[in-house]
Amino acid sequence: MGDADNPQAGRADQAPSGLRLAHRDPVRGPVGTRRDLGAALIEAAYVMPVFFLLVFGIMEIGLYMNDDLAVGHTVRSGSRMASASGNDTMADYGVVQAARRESTALDEGSIEAIVVYKANGIGEDPTAACQLASVAGRCNYYTPTDFARPQSAWGCVDSASPDRFWCPNTRKVTRGSGGTEFVGVWIKYEHKWVTEIFADTSIITDASVIRLEPRKS
């Protein structure tokens, strides 16, 4: 059969119906492909910064939430210990050590303060003065340096005892008028941002207040 009898002969190099081949430059290759590549690079230049911002932002928020939860667990553990210890002489030593154990997920060096304070009710934060230093008859202000103090240094034994300002053995634990006292544990923690997208550091604070468990008079 000759070419005249075969209408498809001589069309083998043509594209199928509905498709168009890109013009091919004998030196640089398909013109359409080079255009598409250039467009893709321009799009990537716009999209990639946004993509990485989202990825790092999610990572940063996750790390912040992890520290925030750890701070919350720490104060709750400390307040439970304070409530159970009541007016035991070594109550605050137990509170600080319980907080230290619970805060293993945190950077100990970034804990700025742990305050054990007298509260008037549930949900009350320490006073502004107690958030800065110990106040006689009101609160004890502790820093990470107190974590390593030997137990013998606690218990209001002398003028250097870290718990001497609101000595644990003065706390009201009998059921008399008004009931037992409320005790609170407050923590101040410096969270360090890894990529510094949002800031260099942020302060996380949390408090837990609970009533002292009553003792027999």
How would DSSP label each residue in 86-115?
TT-TTHHHHHHHHHHHHTTTS-GGGEEEEE
82: closest CA among 173, 204, 199? 173
Side-chain-side CA neighbours of residue 62 (13 Å): 6
Residue 19 lies in a domain: no
Q: How many other C-beta atoms can be found within 10 angstroms of the C-beta atom of residue 18?
A: 5
Residue 180 lies in a domain: yes
Residue 57 lies in a domain: yes
Number of domains within the chain: 1
Phi and psi at residue 191, to the nearest 5°: -90, 130
**pLDDT at res. 14:** 52
User: pLDDT digit of tens for each residue in the chain (217 aa)?
Assistant: 455 555 555 444 554 554 444 445 554 555 557 667 777 778 777 778 888 788 888 999 999 999 999 999 999 999 999 999 999 999 999 999 999 999 999 999 999 999 999 999 999 999 999 999 999 999 999 999 999 899 999 999 999 999 999 999 999 998 877 789 999 999 999 999 998 888 899 999 999 999 999 987 5
Q: Which domain holds residue 127?
A: 42-211
Residue 193 lies in a domain: yes
Residue 31 lies in a domain: no
| Cβ–Cβ < 8 Å for 116, 142 | yes
**pLDDT at res. 183:** 97
**pLDDT at res. 19:** 45
97: closest CA among 160, 156, 163, 159? 163
Residue 22 lies in a domain: no
Tell me the whole-structure pTM to 2 decimals.
Answer: 0.77
Q: What is the pLDDT of residues 59-103, one digit of tens each?
A: 999 999 999 999 999 999 999 999 999 999 999 999 999 999 999
Residue 9 lies in a domain: no
Residue 15 lies in a domain: no
